[in-house]
Amino acid sequence: MRISRELLDDVIAHALADAPNECCGMIARRDRDAVSVHRARNAAASPLKYEVESKDLLRILDEIDDAGLELGAIYHSHTRSAPVPSQTDINLADMGDPPRPRFPGTLYVIVGVEDRSQPDVRAWSIANGQVHEAELEVGP
């Protein structure tokens, strides 16, 4: 997925603003290009996990659909660890037995803010219990 520096900075600002708790939200895309960031509330209000507030989830998915866009990524922050999916993150991305993607084709962007002066952003594909780092192309 390609994302502008401005949109990525918005995601990072959200992560820094919600610290020490994890933040969460969604990124809408058209084709491979991110076009908007949608902040959500973390219903868990925790520094160790995120749970997109259910009303925010429905509202954001409706906004993305109404705009003719696709859900490109779900983002959240890690405030005490590297931006690598935890087992909890993997469990949230998949559902059922055997596991299958809750949101097929969606990336998971994690912002590491353990070092607030140097946030670290990485993207992941999580599907069927498998985790692979994905390319997040940052443009102007």
- For position 94, which CATH number holds? 3.40.140.10
pLDDT of residue 129: 87
Task: Give the number of domains in the chain.
Answer: 1
Distance (Å, rounded) from C-alpha 89 to C-alpha 2? 22
The SS3 call for residue 108 is: strand
Residues 96, 118: Cα–Cα separation, whole Å: 37
Task: List the domain range (segments joined by +) for residue 114.
Answer: 2-139
pTM of the model: 0.95
- Which whole number is the average pLDDT over 12-29? 98
34 — pLDDT class (breaks 50, 70, 90) = very high
- Cα–Cα distance for residue pair 50/48, rounded to 1 Å: 7
Residues of the chain above pLDDT 70, percent: 100
In the chain, which residue ranges form alpha helices assigned H by DSSP?
5-18, 54-66, 87-93
- Say whether pLDDT at 140 is over 80: no
Q: What pLDDT, in 10s, does the model give residues 67-101?
A: 999 999 999 999 999 999 999 999 999 988 888 89
- Indicate the SS3 state at residue 9: helix
